[in-house]
Structure 1
Amino acid sequence: MVKLNEHNREQYEKHILEVLEKGERILFRESFLELHPTDRVDIFMKLEGDMRQRVYEYLSPEEFAEIFQGLEIDDQKEVNSEINEVYASKMFNSMPADDVAYFLTEVVDAKAENILTSMDEEEAKQVKELLSYTPETAGAIMTKEFISISSSQRASEVIEHLRSEGPDAETVYYLYVVDSKNKLVGVVSLRDLIIAPPNEIVENIMSSRIVSVTVNTDQEEVAKLIKDYDFLAAPVVTDDGVLVGIVTVDDVMDIVEEEATEDFGEFTAAKGATDVNISSFTAAKRRSPWIIMLMFFGLITAGVIGQFEETLEEIVLLAVFIPLIMDSAGNTGTQSLAVMVRSLATGSFEKKGLLHTIKREFGTGIMLGLICAVVLLIVVPILYQSFVLAFIVGVSLFLTLSIATVIGAVVPVAINKLKLDPAIASGPFITTVNDILGLLIYFSIATALLDFLPK
């Protein structure tokens, strides 16, 4: 199989497009099918109209299934509308059940039902099983294409079994040992199987210390487990220990990307609107709830400033530093938020504990505040000829940054304790809260020292 590099990609793509345009079926198949699946997807996505129809004609449904799996969901929907039902049915039958199930969750129920009806009974049964599990759990993302063996089999028998069943399995690096009731009792790596004597029975080769997940395990926990143990796949069992599927490392990579996108959307108060393919109307509809809520928080900020109207009227120069206080507080709080959400996601928070994290973030805030205060104590007197003003701004920023880091760290922990995603303590929310806090500190100190400020 050929994997194109940057040097020969353009030339090779041009060759394939030329033979496709000329209708040279055999030459197209030879050139196209020797490519890595990723490159096939890239080339296919550059085709339109009649050229795509030729690809459907030149490739069998089984061959095209590999391309379909590599497409984004919107592109999959488009392709599905371009191919006939017979072709689609054969294509879905050739795909892993988890990939078919994921596609069906993204289409309307009526169309999903039609696809399931057109598929082979056994293939459709596996897909329906995956669809029956709660979304974003191990059961919903697992694949049914795995190899299970008996503990009484010999190594040579298993290897022979692999030759016949291996091509249809998602992975053959791990073989799962089950008993007569299909309960998971052990696991054998392909390496251990190959180096074992041919007549050695599986029971003497397998490891009975099994790390598995249940069908109801959250997908993030599954991803963490596979990462921590450096697995290529993790077995999925029912509450009774019956082996029903596996979650592979490529599924985990998709989960990590999905969760990162979701957390990024939460951080920026743009959940569900990070996809550039959605319309402006849809993006605005999904962003508007947070924006409207933050707008009301902004009114609170305006109210805080209004409470100190007399102070501002007397010393108008104080207004110059309002953006500095607000921006610094918001930025520092958002940094602490990002650190905490990340530590919660990776599990490092559980190892260190809340007290350690708060002490670290508070210490960080104090040092940041001191640095900023020292800079302001030097710069402000030069620009505005007032040491008292420099003291007010410097102390205010010192206190604000010290507290803002703690707020940024504590809020996501509190949300996590409520069994909610800590990322919903979004950056804009933390920023607004710290803005209000910073202004209260700033104007309180300024009001207390008002008599010492130059009029």
Structure 2
Amino acid sequence: MIPFKLTDDLIAEIEQLIEDQKDTELSSLLEDIHYADIAEIINELNDDEATYLIKLLDSDKTSDILTELDEDIREAILGNLSAKEIAEELDELDTDDAADIVGELPKDMVQRVISELEDKEHAKDIVDLLRYDENSAGGLMAKELVKVNENWNVLTCVKEMRAQAENVTRVHSIYVVDDEEKLKGRLSLKDLLTTSTKTHIKDIYIPKVDYVNVNEKPEEVAKIMSKYDLEAIPVVDEIGRLVGRITIDDIVDVIKEEAEKDYQMAAGISQDVEADDSIWELTKARLPWLFIGMMGGIGAASIINVFQGAFVTFPILLAFIPLMQATAGNVGVQSSAIVVQGLANDSIKGEIWGRLLKELILGLVNGLALAFIFLLISHFGFKTSYMVSFTVGIALVTVIVNAALIGTFVPIFLNKRGIDPAIATGPFITTSNDVLGILIYFSIAKVLLNF
């Protein structure tokens, strides 16, 4: 299969076909293009052109296209469709995707769209999903699954599975429930095919099954599915009834969104924004951390001002200020990034003191190695006195150890307080270590050089 490539020529051709209303040629051009690639094309069109394409193509394809579009483009398209047209799209979607789209509609439109759905059971499932918090397993799950009763025999089970499978895009697992719909286990397809048709399901099902509660956070669901290599996981309600399942494609989206959020936080962006957002939205996301960075710079400048008398006797000390700030910031970000990653995948175990001791030793090793290299460079490159070089070297080791400890402690502390530790890998750590690095540097210099 040749990878799809979006080109300016293709966009121009589609725009021209839309303008000329050559529907047959347009349909033929898009016929063999995957719905995700068509979504990529539509993202480049204006609202009217995008709506034209959605109305032209069949609902079985456009329904999937809608799930792949940028939210603002999808919102504009849905605003140009009637309640009946939107309902036709939702009828083709799994309940989780349909519920996501309904959740984006204006409140006055939701009821009209739901009433237009042809499949009333599908409509009921969508309404049921809308009651869950979107930031929960319940808000992430789909209602489509294959389940069998433990009291059925194999023959009845196969008949029921055939009927259920018609509404399920992919059958990842067969779940077993009791008469109260409580999850009991899972059924092996091999056991089903190799067992007598008169055998009861309760005699052959596997009681061990991983599951999550409807109130579980998506991030926790992602950890469980990643740890056990699951393609799907069942979801139960507060009393253990099977109410849905979450598939790997939904979890990939969760992991992607979480990675994007952590990356932005590490870069000092406090809100979830994109390059196409308004200047006001981008400013709100960036300005708070820029302000903190500025205050950190003012703090460092104040510390330098306190020790300015030293520059008369030891002006060379000024030259090494960037060294202290850069090293402290880099070490702090390195330490915090590793800890945040460990917290994200649950690989950090044991007491915090053991982790701090490890970082203390690591900081000493790295600090002594860098200090030795610095002593050689400062002596032969800067021609500084032995005492000044020794002082800067001691300060460098201390700054590195301090930055490593802060970079380790802060994300763990934030995590225990229920705050996203990813915030610690950005300007917060860099700024705090810059200021403390300068303070440590001049404090050690004052003691050793006696100025």
Both structures adopt the same fold (TM-score exceeding 0.5): yes
Q: Which of 60, 63, 83 is the matching residue for 1:62? A: 60
Bigger Cα displacement from structure 2, 98-107 vs 362-371:
98-107
In 1: Cα distance, 2:272 partner to 2:161 partner: 45
Bigger Cα displacement from structure 2, 96-105 vs 254-263:
96-105
Tell me which protein shows more helix as a share of its residues. 1
Bigger Cα displacement from structure 2, 426-435 vs 81-90:
81-90
Cα distance, 1:238 vs. partner? 1.3
2:430 is matched with 431
Query: 1:146–1:170: 8 Å Cα contact kept in structure 2?
Result: no
Q: Which of 80, 84, 94 is the matching residue for 1:86? A: 84
Written as runs of structure 1 = structure 2, the 5 A alignment for 1:68-147 is 68-112=66-110, 114-119=112-117, 121-147=120-146
Written as runs of structure 1 = structure 2, the 5 A alignment for 1:26-45 is 32-45=30-43
Query: 2:18–2:26: 8 Å Cα contact kept in structure 1?
Result: yes
Cα distance, 1:156 vs. partner? 4.4
Q: Give the aligned residue type for 1:346.
A: N
CA RMSD of aligned residues (A): 3.1
Query: 1:223–1:255: 8 Å Cα contact kept in structure 2?
Result: yes
In 1: Cα distance, 2:356 partner to 2:307 partner: 31
SS of residue matched to 2:133: coil
Tell me the TM-score normalised to structure 1 length: 0.88
2:3 is matched with 5
In 1: Cα distance, 2:367 partner to 2:114 partner: 61
How has the CA–CA distance of structure 1 residues 44 and 134 changed in structure 2, closer, same or farther, with 3 Å as cutoff?
Answer: closer
Cα distance, 1:366 vs. partner? 1.6
Give unmatched runs, 5+ long, in structure 2. none
SS of residue matched to 1:94: coil
Q: Give the aligned residue type for 1:244.
A: V
Bigger Cα displacement from structure 2, 265-274 vs 220-229:
265-274
Q: Give the aligned residue type for 2:295.
A: F
Any idea what the Cα deviations from partners look like across 1:17-66, whole Å, max 9, x if unmatched? 99888877677657745543333433444555776455334433333212
In 1: Cα distance, 2:2 partner to 2:450 partner: 74
Any idea what the Cα deviations from partners look like across 1:342-386, whole Å, max 9, x if unmatched? 100100003x54334223322222222122111110011122222
SS of residue matched to 2:174: strand
In 2: Cα distance, 1:86 partner to 1:22 partner: 27
How has the CA–CA distance of structure 1 residues 431 and 18 changed in structure 2, closer, same or farther, with 3 Å as cutoff?
Answer: closer
Any idea what the Cα deviations from partners look like across 1:98-121, whole Å, max 9, x if unmatched? 223333444544444554454455
Give unmatched runs, 5+ long, in structure 1. none
Alignment partner of 1:225 is 2:224: yes
Structure 1 segments (4+ residues) deviating >6 Å: 7-24
| Number of equivalent positions | 449
1:441 is matched with 440
2:202 is matched with 203
Q: Give the aligned residue type for 1:71.
A: L
1:262 is matched with 261
Bigger Cα displacement from structure 2, 56-65 vs 268-277:
56-65
Q: Give the aligned residue type for 1:349.
A: I
In 2: Cα distance, 1:203 partner to 1:30 partner: 52
Query: 1:138–1:214: 8 Å Cα contact kept in structure 2?
Result: yes
Cα distance, 1:288 vs. partner? 1.7
Bigger Cα displacement from structure 2, 156-165 vs 391-400:
156-165
SS of residue matched to 1:221: helix
In 1: Cα distance, 2:284 partner to 2:164 partner: 49
Query: 1:214–1:238: 8 Å Cα contact kept in structure 2?
Result: yes
Cα distance, 1:312 vs. partner? 2.6
Identity across matched positions, percent? 30
How has the CA–CA distance of structure 1 residues 103 and 51 changed in structure 2, closer, same or farther, with 3 Å as cutoff?
Answer: closer
SS of residue matched to 2:281: helix
Cα distance, 1:206 vs. partner? 1.6
How has the CA–CA distance of structure 1 residues 425 and 48 changed in structure 2, closer, same or farther, with 3 Å as cutoff?
Answer: closer
In 2: Cα distance, 1:167 partner to 1:10 partner: 40
Q: Which of 343, 366, 372 is the matching residue for 1:374? A: 372
Any idea what the Cα deviations from partners look like across 1:423-444, whole Å, max 9, x if unmatched? 2324211111111221122111
In 1: Cα distance, 2:33 partner to 2:200 partner: 40
Tell me the TM-score normalised to structure 2 length: 0.89
Q: Give the aligned residue type for 1:139.
A: G
In 1: Cα distance, 2:300 partner to 2:262 partner: 26
Written as runs of structure 1 = structure 2, the 5 A alignment for 1:137-286 is 137-286=136-285
How has the CA–CA distance of structure 1 residues 7 and 267 changed in structure 2, closer, same or farther, with 3 Å as cutoff?
Answer: closer
SS of residue matched to 1:349: coil
2:344 is matched with 345
SS of residue matched to 1:449: helix
Bigger Cα displacement from structure 2, 364-373 vs 128-137:
128-137
Cα distance, 1:298 vs. partner? 2.9
In 1: Cα distance, 2:65 partner to 2:76 partner: 13
2:382 is matched with 384
Query: 2:182–2:241: 8 Å Cα contact kept in structure 1?
Result: yes
How has the CA–CA distance of structure 1 residues 283 and 112 changed in structure 2, closer, same or farther, with 3 Å as cutoff?
Answer: farther
In 2: Cα distance, 1:105 partner to 1:448 partner: 64
1:331 is matched with 330
How has the CA–CA distance of structure 1 residues 14 and 211 changed in structure 2, closer, same or farther, with 3 Å as cutoff?
Answer: same
Q: Give the aligned residue type for 2:341.
A: R
Q: Give the aligned residue type for 1:184.
A: L
Query: 1:329–1:434: 8 Å Cα contact kept in structure 2?
Result: yes
